[in-house]
Amino acid sequence: MMRISFLGHSGFLLELPSATLLFDWSEGELPTLRPGRPLLVFASHHHEDHFRPAIFQLGAAAFLLGKDVRMSARNRERWGVSPEAAARCVTLGGGRRLEPLPGVRVETLTSTDEGVAFLVTADGQTVFHAGDLNWWHWEGEDVSWNTEMALHFQEFTAPLRGRHIDLAMLPLDPRLGRDGFRGPRYFLELADIARALPMHQWQDFGFTAKFLEEFPQFAGRVVPISHVGQEFLLP
């Protein structure tokens, strides 16, 4: 059983039997953390809608950070990172594999924006947090830019092809209009995703309904989010 709390924007807290996973917490209240379970904190990149320095005040077993979250002496001082917390920080580019806790495997994918996406396997469950790895297609952008973005997105997501993922947290960004459907659709067709939670919606939660109206084949797999603080239970 996995309990998921939506913290706002792209932030999620996942409670698995053996560990707690915190992804891209940038806003909202953090629920009371379970005692006796190690905490892994993930920050895909440094953008303010995905990262807040308060994470370093949490008693995490490890902080797994996109490589653009630079742990320079200046940043450590500015963010209030203690020497103990700094020693538990790992900065990651794409294509990395590591085991931050026994029985927990983390893989990273290069992002089409900043930082990385995370694929985490623990307790027999695999979860994916895309960060800003998305098919960013902007109306009015130069055709060559959008073409290059499409190629990069397909290249960077290739490691997911055919993979089984129990829960995927995917950008569904209403700022792109219908072009915001490109990324989630591609993810859902590329990998064997059992359940997907939309994120990066800038509080426009109705955008999920528009996506499902156009692609009703995903209705059993995409779970709409209606409000910050919403909780989900997945087997």
Nearest CA among 2, 14, 72, 66 for reference residue 40: 14
Q: Which residues contact 40 (CB under 8 A, 6 or more apart)?
A: 19, 20, 21, 22, 60, 61, 62, 64, 100, 101, 104, 120
**Report field, pTM of the whole predicted structure over 0.95:** yes
Per-residue pLDDT at 1: 85
Reading the chain (235 residues) residue by residue, the pLDDT tens digits are 899 999 999 999 999 999 999 999 999 889 999 899 999 999 999 999 999 999 999 999 999 999 999 999 999 999 999 999 999 999 999 999 999 999 999 999 999 999 999 999 999 999 999 999 999 999 988 999 999 999 999 999 999 999 999 999 999 999 999 999 999 999 999 999 999 999 999 999 999 999 999 999 999 999 999 999 999 998 8
Per-residue pLDDT at 4: 98
Per-residue pLDDT at 28: 85
Output the DSSP codes for 139-154: TTS-HHHHHHHHHHHH
Cα–Cα distance list, 99 to 107, 122, 127, 216 (Å): 9, 10, 15, 37
Per-residue pLDDT at 29: 86
